[in-house]
Amino acid sequence: MVKFLGVIFLLVVLTFPALAGEGILYLNSGELKQGELLVLKVETTEHAPTGTFRGVNLHFIPWEMGWVAFFGISYWTQPGDYQLKIHLGEKEITRTIVVLDGDFSESHLTVSEEQEKLIRPSEEDKEIIERRGRDQKAVQNAYSNPITMPLWEEDFILPTTGWRTTGFGHTRYVNNELNNRHSGIDIANEAGTPIKSVNQGKVKLAEDLLVTGKTIIIDHGGRIFSSYSHLSKIEVVVGDMVERGQKIGEMGSTGFSTGPHLHWVIRTPEAFLDPDQFVGNDIFSLLDIPE
Of residues 198, 185, 190, the one with CA closest to residue 246: 198
User: Are 177 and 253 within 8 A, CB to CB?
Assistant: no
Residue 124 sits in a domain whose CATH number is 2.70.70.10
Domain that holds residue 70: 3-102
**Terminal Cα-to-Cα distance of the chain (whole angstroms):** 11
Question: What is the signed CA dihedral for 199, 203, 207, 211, rounded to 10 degrees?
Answer: -50
Continuous H helices in the chain: 113-119, 126-143
Residue 260 and residue 188 share a domain: yes
Mean pLDDT of the chain: 86
- What is the amino acid identity at position 94? T
- 270 in a structural domain: yes
- Buried-state track 83-94, b at ≥16 Cβ within 10 A, e below 16: ebebbbbebebe
Residue 157 and residue 88 share a domain: no
Q: Which of 80, 102, 124 is the last residue before a domain boundary?
A: 102
Q: Which conformational region is residue 243 in: left (phi greater than 0), alpha (psi within -120 to 50 degrees), or beta?
A: beta
Q: Which of 102, 129, 149 is the last residue before a domain boundary?
A: 102
- 284 in a structural domain: no
Residue 116 and residue 71 share a domain: no
187-235: pLDDT as tens digits: 999 999 999 999 999 999 999 999 999 999 999 999 999 999 999 999 9
Alpha-carbon torsion (252, 143, 199, 73), positive or negative? positive
Rounded CA gap, 229 and 214, in Å? 6
131-186: pLDDT as tens digits: 999 999 999 999 999 999 999 989 999 999 999 999 999 988 888 777 788 999 99
pLDDT recorded at residue 238: 98
- 290 in a structural domain: no
Rounded CA gap, 35 and 277, in Å? 9
- 291 in a structural domain: no
Q: How many CB atoms neighbour CB 266 within 10 A? A: 29
pLDDT recorded at residue 9: 38
Rounded CA gap, 67 and 23, in Å? 11
